[in-house]
Amino acid sequence: MIDRESLLNDKEFLRSFKDGADLQQFFRELQGRAVSQMLEGELDVHLGYDKHARSEERNSRNGHTSKKVRGDQGDIEIQVPRDREGSFNPIIVPKGKNIIDGVENVIVSLYAKGMSVMDIEDMLRDVYNFQVSEATISRITERVAEDVVAWQNRPLDNVYLIVWMDGIVFKVRENSKVVNKTIYLAVGLNREGYKEVLGMWLGKNESASFWMGILTDLKARGVEDMLITATDNLNGFTNTIRSVFPESNTEICVVHQIRNACCLEG
């Protein structure tokens, strides 16, 4: 059993998790995941049928190839689907190209709760910059949206040692324009000592009631206890946390570790 009081009083422990490498890795993995789903949608359209459908046509799926591409946050590993004829040439990452320019932050925001399917479709349309048909955009959106829902609703651990909660600026689609918006993150330190992004939420205004919705979401996905929560000093936030996780202890003013670790705007 974890000794809550000893953990809370161990200031060296609390200071020892400022390394953002694991969070940077998370964002790279999420970007790779989204791009891989976009490629699956592209291949669906190229072949003319879905991944698990049968076809009388000679051409068909033929596994995947791992590929590293360079983005704003470093190397991203993607899975590129192949066809038997070798005629599939992806648009978002063409053959022979290993750089993705300026789309990573837009891609990450797709996984924030609060984005509608129409929002996702509009953002993907911007990413492809009119290089594909509306039917292709719709198919790619289906692929990405399906994966987004699966990620947003995945089960979580029952206990996290520390949960940091704060907002970071990402690029988000709004009123036909891509603008900077704050996406709120909950980042948990699990019992194995690794940071895990528990979820991301798009909200217009940060408030105690807004965070209540986030905390309730985390509890519904399996979180039973957060030993320590690290937040800014938002009025009413501590009471909101304790109304959902009554045993949690709150630390103030270390929340900016999230922003520093992510190496993104904030």
Q: Which amino acid is at 49?
A: Y
Q: Give the confidence band of 55 by pLDDT, cuts at 50, 70, 90.
A: low
Radius of gyration of the chain (CA): 20
Mean pLDDT for all residues in the chain? 82
Phi, psi of 104 (to 5 degrees): -65, -50
- The DSSP element (H or E) to which 216 belongs, if any, is helix 208-220
Residues with Cβ within 8 Å of residue 86, at least 6 apart in sequence: none
Above 70 in pLDDT, residue 77?
yes
Above 60 in pLDDT, residue 255?
no
pLDDT of residue 152: 96
pLDDT of residue 51: 61
* Model pTM score: 0.82
Q: Report d(CA 3, CA 130) in Å as an integer.
A: 56
Above 80 in pLDDT, residue 233?
no
**The two three-digit tokens of residue 120, written as one number:** 């996702």
Looking at domain 4-20+155-262, which of 3.40.50, 3.90.550, 3.30.420, 3.30.70 is its CATH number?
3.30.420
Bridge partners (DSSP) listed for residue 79: 66
DSSP 3-state of 106: helix
- The DSSP element (H or E) to which 196 belongs, if any, is strand 195-202
In a 13 Å sphere around the CA of 211, the CA atoms on its Cβ side amount to 26
Average pLDDT of the residues in 68-96: 89
The answer to whether residues 101 and 63 touch, using CB atoms and an 8 Å cutoff, is no
The answer to whether residues 31 and 73 touch, using CB atoms and an 8 Å cutoff, is yes
Residues with Cβ within 8 Å of residue 10, at least 6 apart in sequence: none
Instruction: Tell me the domain boundaries of the chain.
Output: 4-20+155-262, 25-152
**The two three-digit tokens of residue 41, written as one number:** 């949608």
